[in-house]
Structure 1
């Protein structure tokens, strides 16, 4: 579980969110918050992205750096668009599907880790 809020200012109070429901986490400089993306919602946390990833992974999770502002949950990755270097978390991809872009300089390392952590990922 991680403690998150449903609004960037924290006015909603903390909510416990199960880590398994997290698809990816991104840092948004404009609001100086981590945005936690799930299938249907966005939540907010404070703190550095690296600290968050280290703590999650030391707790038994499998998060991978996509770029300097995004990490994704390898366990929830369903497919990788190898042309655009994007991770998808749904089998049926639509225009509204959430995706996490992988930086070109991190792509090979991220894919190598992903292939070990989640052998069910589809590459297309």
Structure 2
């Protein structure tokens, strides 16, 4: 699961939150619907664990309404939302841990090199990206 979730962060289509529209809005709604439908086709029917949760009344009413509109059970919708949240959190924490590991490694670039590089932007003597 970790390998799938740790995709390039600059490609939002690979971000787990994209599947459920958590980071989308506006004109991206059509793509969001397509991804949600594609995801629902691959849902596992092997859901045999039970989890009890407490939610506020407003959220429960919204879940009830969404369940009716989507013709999906509240349990299905909650399970999908939890799975999307877990995917997103695993991805984000994995990226943070990878960043910390990179900082701890020998692959550091000094502040001075970065400042020199940034100051050279747009000039004929622009320097290459520090490595």
TM-score bracket for the superposition, by shorter chain length: under 0.3
Calculate the TM-score normalised by the size of structure 2. 0.26
Task: Tell me which structure has the larger Cα radius of gyration.
Answer: 2
Structure with greater strand share of residues: 1
Structure with greater helix share of residues: 2
Calculate the TM-score normalised by the size of structure 1. 0.27
